[in-house]
C-alpha cells in the first residue's frame, strides 16, 4: 500500500520576504495549544537539501536543539526515494521555534519545495504472502470426509467444502462482513508489483472473496487468482484487488482442492467434453460426497476417491462413474476400494442446496 499523505496546513508565507513561518495547526483539544507535553511535527524535504538541513557534522540540528530543546530526526520517505521525512520532536512551543529557524535557513521564496507543511503517513499494512498451514481446512487422511462440491474446475478437478466442520457456519458471516467493508470504504490497494502467493480480497461478479494471487501481469494490470473459500480460478483486474484485514484471516480457508485419483480423460489432449462436466454437476448437486484421500500429486494436491450420496441407500463412486460413462480411463487399477458406510444424516442433503454458492470463475481444465 502506498501510504497516504495528507497536508495539514499551508505555508503562511506572505510573499514579501519569505521569512514567515509555517506553524503547526492548533490542537483539537481546547486549552492545550501551549501544552508543554511532548509532541512531534513531520514535513518532507528533498533528498538534495538534507545535507544543508543537518549542517556540517550535524551543526545546524545541534544548534536548533540547543536553542529550542527540539530534536530533529531525518528518516526515509516510505514511497519517494527523492524525498526525506523530517520529524521535529518536542513541546509545541519548541516545535514552533524550530520550524522558524528552519524557515530562516530555507526561505520559501528561494526554496519553494520546502513548504514545511505537516504530513501524516498511514502505517503500511503488510499483505499476507506466507500462509500458515493451519489456515487451510484440509481433507483428513484415513476417514470419509463429508464434503459438498463448491466449484467444478474440470470433471476430475474439484473444490470441496466441509459443511459439518465447526468453522463452516461462519463463512456466510465472513462474506457479509467483507462485502460491507469493501463496498463502503476506500480500502487500500495491493502494493506494486504484486507478489505471488499474496492473500487478498478479490471482487468477482457480485461480491468480495478471499483469494490468493498466483501470478500478476503489470502490463495488462491483471492477476490470476485462486478463490480460497469457494475454489476456482479467475483473471481479476488489479484495481479489483484489495489488501485484506487481519480479522478476515481468522477463519480457515474453506475450499479443499482435490483431483480424482487413478483416472484421466480419454481425450489425448487431456480435455474433457461438455457432457462430462454436466454429468458431474448433475450428480453432485445438493449431495453429500464422502471423500477419501488416496495419495497426493507432486504439488501436494490430494488425489481423492469420491462417493456421492444420491439417495438414502444409493451411493455412486464418481471415479468409476466417469469411466463407465466413457469419459475417462483408469491410470492404474483401483482394487478393493470399499464403499463407505453412511456417516451423514440424509437431511444434510437438503442443507447443501444453500451452501454451494460460489464466485463465478474462469474454469481451468486439469
Predicted confidence at residue 127, as pLDDT, reads 55
Residue 179: pLDDT band (50, 70, 90) is: very high
Go through 276-298 and write b for each residue having 16 or more CB atoms within 10 A of its CB, e for each that does not: bbebbeebbebbbbbbbbbeeee
**C-alpha span between 254 and 305 (Å, rounded):** 19
Task: Check pLDDT > 50 for residue 337.
Answer: no
How many of the other CB atoms lie within 10 Å of CB of 25?
Answer: 10
Mean pLDDT of the residues in the chain: 81
Task: Check pLDDT > 70 for residue 19.
Answer: no
Predicted confidence at residue 273, as pLDDT, reads 96
Predicted confidence at residue 203, as pLDDT, reads 95
Residue 313: pLDDT band (50, 70, 90) is: confident
Question: How do residues 85-118 score in pLDDT, each as one tens digit?
Answer: 998 988 989 999 999 999 999 999 999 999 999 9
Residue 122: pLDDT band (50, 70, 90) is: low
Residue 58: pLDDT band (50, 70, 90) is: confident
Predicted confidence at residue 31, as pLDDT, reads 36
Predicted confidence at residue 128, as pLDDT, reads 55
With contact defined as beta carbons under 8 Å apart, do 223 and 217 qualify?
A: yes
3-class DSSP assignment, residue 164:
coil
Least confident piece of the model among 73-77, 98-102, 232-236, 354-358:
354-358
Q: Pick the more confident residue, 130 or 173.
A: 173
Predicted confidence at residue 133, as pLDDT, reads 72
Predicted confidence at residue 126, as pLDDT, reads 52
Predicted confidence at residue 320, as pLDDT, reads 95
How many of the other CB atoms lie within 10 Å of CB of 43?
Answer: 21
With contact defined as beta carbons under 8 Å apart, do 122 and 4 qualify?
A: yes
What percent of the chain clears pLDDT 70, i.e. is strictly above it?
A: 77
Question: For 195-222, what is the mean pLDDT?
Answer: 93
| Torsion angle defined by CA atoms of residues 281, 287, 288 and 289, in that order, rounded to the nearest 10 degrees | -30
Predicted confidence at residue 124, as pLDDT, reads 53
Predicted confidence at residue 187, as pLDDT, reads 83
Domain 133-354 in the same topology as domain 1-124: no
Residue 79: pLDDT band (50, 70, 90) is: confident
Strands (E), 119-249: 145-154, 157-161, 198-204, 207-217, 222-227, 233-237, 241-243
CATH fold, domain 1-124, is Ribosomal Protein S8; Chain: A, domain 1 (3.30.1370)
How many of the other CB atoms lie within 10 Å of CB of 137?
Answer: 20
Predicted confidence at residue 331, as pLDDT, reads 87
Question: How do residues 209-259 score in pLDDT, each as one tens digit?
Answer: 999 999 999 889 999 999 999 999 999 999 999 999 989 999 999 999 999
Predicted confidence at residue 232, as pLDDT, reads 95
Residue ranges of domains in the chain: 1-124, 133-354
User: What stretches of the chain show up as alpha helix (H) in DSSP?
Assistant: 50-54, 59-68, 92-105, 170-184, 274-284, 318-324, 348-351
Task: Check pLDDT > 50 for residue 193.
Answer: yes
The domain 133-354 is classified under which CATH number: 2.30.30.140, 3.40.630.30, 2.60.40.650, 1.10.260.40?
A: 2.30.30.140
Task: Check pLDDT > 70 for residue 30.
Answer: no
Predicted confidence at residue 355, as pLDDT, reads 33
Q: Pick the more confident residue, 207 or 35.
A: 207
Q: Pick the more confident residue, 290 or 336.
A: 290
The number of C-alpha atoms within 13 Å of 361 and in the hemisphere containing its C-beta is 29
Predicted confidence at residue 312, as pLDDT, reads 84
Task: Check pLDDT > 60 for residue 134.
Answer: yes
Amino acid at each position: 500500500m502506498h501510504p497516504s499523505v495528507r497536508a495539514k496546513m499551508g505555508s503562511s508565507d506572505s510573499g514579501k520576504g519569505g521569512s514567515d513561518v509555517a506553524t503547526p495547526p492548533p490542537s483539537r483539544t481546547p486549552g492545550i495549544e501551549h501544552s508543554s507535553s511532548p509532541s512531534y511535527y513531520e514535513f518532507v524535504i528533498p533528498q538534495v537539501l538534507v545535507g544543508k538541513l543537518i549542517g556540517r557534522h550535524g551543526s545546524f540540528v545541534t544548534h536548533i536543539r540547543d536553542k529550542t530543546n527540539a530534536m530533529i530526526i531525518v528518516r526515509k520517505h516510505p514511497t519517494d526515494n527523492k524525498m526525506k521525512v523530517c520529524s521535529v520532536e518536542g513541546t509545541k512551543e519548541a516545535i514552533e521555534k524550530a520550524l522558524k529557524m528552519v524557515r530562516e535557513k530555507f526561505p520559501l521564496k528561494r526554496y519553494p519545495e520546502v513548504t514545511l507543511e505537516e504530513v501524516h503517513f498511514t502505517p503500511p499494512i503488510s499483505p499476507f504472502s506466507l500462509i500458515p498451514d493451519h489456515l487451510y481446512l484440509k481433507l483428513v487422511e484415513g476417514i470419509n470426509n463429508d464434503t459438498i462440491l463448491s466449484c467444478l474446475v474440470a470433471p476430475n478437478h474439484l473444490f470441496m467444502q466441509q459443511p459439518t466442520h465447526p468453522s463452516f457456519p461462519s463463512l456466510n458471516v465472513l462474506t457479509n462482513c467483507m462485502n460491507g467493508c469493501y463496498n463502503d470504504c476506500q480500502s487500500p490497494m495491493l502494493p506494486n508489483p504484486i507478489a505471488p502467493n499474496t492473500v487478498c480480497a478479490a471482487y468477482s461478479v457480485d461480491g468480495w472473496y478471499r483469494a490468493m494471487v498466483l501470478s500478476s501481469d503489470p502490463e495488462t494490470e491483471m492477476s490470476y487468482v485462486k478463490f480460497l473459500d469457494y475454489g476456482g480460478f479467475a483473471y481479476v483486474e488489479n484495481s479489483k484487488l484489495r489488501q485484506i484485514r487481519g480479522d478476515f484471516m481468522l477463519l480457515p480457508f474453506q475450499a479443499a482442492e482435490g483431483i480424482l485419483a487413478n483416472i484421466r480423460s480419454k481425450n489425448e489432449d487431456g480435455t474433457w467434453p461438455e457432457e462430462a462436466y454436466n454429468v458431474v454437476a448433475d450428480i453432485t448437486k445438493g449431495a453429500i460426497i464422502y471423500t477419501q484421500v488416496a495419495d497426493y500429486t507432486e504439488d501436494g494436491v490430494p488425489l481423492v476417491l469420491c462417493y456421492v450420496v444420491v439417495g438414502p441407500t444409493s451411493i455412486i463412486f464418481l471415479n468409476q462413474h466417469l469411466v463407465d460413462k466413457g469419459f475417462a480411463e483408469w491410470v492404474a487399477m483401483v482394487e478393493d476400494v470399499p464403499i463407505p458406510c453412511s456417516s451423514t444424516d440424509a437431511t444434510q442433503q437438503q442443507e447443501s442446496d444453500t451452501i454451494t454458492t460460489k464466485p463465478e470463475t474462469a474454469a481451468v481444465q486439469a
